[in-house]
Amino acid sequence: RAPPTGAEDVVVFVVPFDAGRDGAARDAPAPRAPFALVRADGLMRLGVADRRGELFERGAPRGPIRLAVPAPLVK
């Protein structure tokens, strides 16, 4: 299936799924959290979120964007 046409700038908040000692998952963006961003065109970008827990993707193709767990962090 061909990726959607067009592009737009996107801000993504990185909220890691990391249950703490009390068993509660995080509910806010995490500063400097590692991420793997998968764009609609199949490109995967690895990086670290900024101090606010977000990242900016300029010119992302229209369509679904998802966060994945970076390979070194998979248990």
Within a domain: 75: no
Within a domain: 2: no
Q: Which domain holds residue 63?
A: 7-18+26-70
CA 57 – CA 20 distance, rounded (Å)? 29
Q: How many domains does the chain divide into?
A: 1
Token pair listed for 4: 């959607």
pLDDT digits (tens, 9 = 90+) for 7-38: 889 999 998 876 555 655 667 898 999 999 99
The HSE-up count of residue 16 (CA atoms within 13 Å, CB side) is 17
Query: In terms of C-beta density within 10 A (0-12 exposed, 13-18 middle, 19 or more buried), how is residue 32 classed?
Result: exposed
Token pair listed for 47: 């990086």
pTM over 0.85, yes/no: no
Phi, psi of 9 (to 5 degrees): -80, 140
* Model confidence band, residue 65 (pLDDT cutoffs 50, 70, 90): very high
Within a domain: 1: no
